[in-house]
Amino acid sequence: MLAAALSLSLCSCGAEKPKPELTVESYTELSTVLKLPPVYVPGGSWTEADIPGALWVGAKSFTFPATYASLGSKFTIDPEAADTVRTDGGDLSAVLLFDGCACGTIDLTGCDSKEAYTTGIIAAISFKNMGRSEAPSPSVFPVAFNGITIGSTAEQFKENLGIELTASGAEIKTLHHTIQFSGSPAEGVTAITLISTV
């Protein structure tokens, strides 16, 4: 009986669907971005001119204004998913996937139809661990600001950005960008939200 129970248990484990992972190419690209030398900003006084070259999304330099299409083909959303919200005004909020891994949420404007999301303007992207079993979070998140990504320590944060990560997080504001960091000195960075102020 014990042998039969064990074999059933092994069969059920083997029947699980494999979880999506980052491709080797994506993992290498994202890891390479994290190894770039940080931009030096005296006293953490970030300006709009400092954003290009410091902000990376999906291993590509990123600035606002931006459209969904500018993220590249590795990012996807499902406009038909149950947790996708679309308003009559053309706003859309959805779970954002990178290489099939749930990496956060995206808010778009100018999506007058279900198909129009591809040209939608990005209002905000929040990168965070989604805690999903069907599309687990990626091993390396596709966002980095001056070498800081989700999982970076408070010490790395202070060294690279010139500001403290406190229990209430931290924020950098420039003319077109608000970059919010969630976390604490003990946990490090747990989420990064990019908000367009264009």
The region of weakest confidence among 74-88, 116-130, 161-175 is 74-88
* Triad 106, 110, 112: Cα angle to 5°: 110
Determine the Cα–Cα distance for residues 40 and 116; give it in Å rounded to an integer.
Answer: 39
**pLDDT top residue among 162 and 3:** 162
Place of tokens 């005004």: 89
Q: How confident is the model at residue 40 (pLDDT cuts 50, 70, 90)?
A: confident
Determine the Cα–Cα distance for residues 84 and 62; give it in Å rounded to an integer.
Answer: 24
Q: How far apart, in Å, do the first and last CA atoms of the chain sit? A: 67
Above 50 in pLDDT, residue 7? no
Specify the pTM: 0.87
Determine the Cα–Cα distance for residues 174 and 196; give it in Å rounded to an integer.
Answer: 10
Mean predicted lDDT score pLDDT of the chain: 88
The region of weakest confidence among 44-58, 61-75, 107-121 is 107-121
